[in-house]
Amino acid sequence: MAIFVDENTKVVYQGLTGSQGRFYGLRNRDYGTQVVAGTNPKKAGEDVDGIPIFATVGDAVEATGADVSCIFIPAPGVKAAVMEAAEGGVKMIVVITEGVPAQDEARFYNDLKRNFPDVQLLGPNCPGIISPGKCNIGITAGEIAMGGGPVGIVSRSGTLTYQALHELTQKGIGQTTCVGIGGDPVPGTTFIDCLERFEADPDTKAVMMIGEIGGSAEEEAAEFIKSSMTKPVAAYIAGVTAPPGKKMGHAGAIVSGGKGTAAAKMDALRDAGAQVGQNPTEAGELMADIVANL
């Protein structure tokens, strides 16, 4: 099985008529994803390489049965786009856009929780989600993924998402689903959201978790692993050498007041029973050992 998305998922792209939306939307379709619609109120009735364009997400959902929206529009319009998608009837919204203002993220995150609690938000500023061989939504290169399980991946870092996929694929270890949750201060999907899904998925036998400095998400995930996970976890935390008070890459990746350090996160994960690598390659090797002993 896969979590969140599979071969039956139908995707509407908000921003399909833009250069980035078109590029990745068509790549996702070429991968095998059911990309059934795009939206642009100024281009309704047109198409992008045969994919129909609708004025709104609601129109696209009604006409095509789309159940996931992928947002590829500039940051200032993301808040309105997210709410349009939720109001349009999709069950999941994947926001690829980076640079979304933190106050906008907080506002639409809370609006969704309050008014659309059943809608799953992934991102902003994330690479998206791929269930190899079934569905790829976002900017992950499908060529580096391999289906067939037994490993689920969840990562805050886009680049390290790709490396985790590549490391496992090079070792002949398939993946069920890989979720890039993004590194912004207000992520729509958390480590725990994914860990819960992987724990419940019968085809996922082990989980690779990639974290980074800043915030407390990894420590919270460690508590969940300790209390609720029966499946083995291999982890890596980026930012071991990051100096306090300096933002490293992601807006949420900042160590402040001695909190959010890589060392503290690694200690918490080890205490929870996870195997922690000192670098991404070592984490992949740890996962290979775990899979060999399943």
Closest CA to 24 of 121, 96, 84, 87: 96
* Burial annotation 72-89 (CB, 10 A radius, 16+ → b, else e): bbeeebbbebbbbbbebb
Residues classed as catalytic: 250
Residues 6+ apart with CB under 8 A from 247: 253, 254
User: Which residue in this structure is represented by tokens 């529009």?
Assistant: 73
Q: What single-letter DSSP state applies at residue 157?
A: -
Whether residue 204 contacts residue 151, with contact meaning beta carbons closer than 8 Å, is answered with: yes
Helix, strand, coil content of the chain in percent (nearest 5) = 35, 25, 40
Triad 85, 91, 93: Cα angle to 5°:
50
3-class SS of residue 152:
strand
- 56 and 88 Cβ atoms separated by less than 8 Å: yes
From residue 146, alpha-carbon distances to 23, 154, 169, 260 in Å are 22, 15, 6, 33
Query: Within 10 A of 127 (CB to CB), how many other CB atoms are there?
Result: 26
Q: CA-CA distance, 81 to 56, in Å (whole number)? A: 10
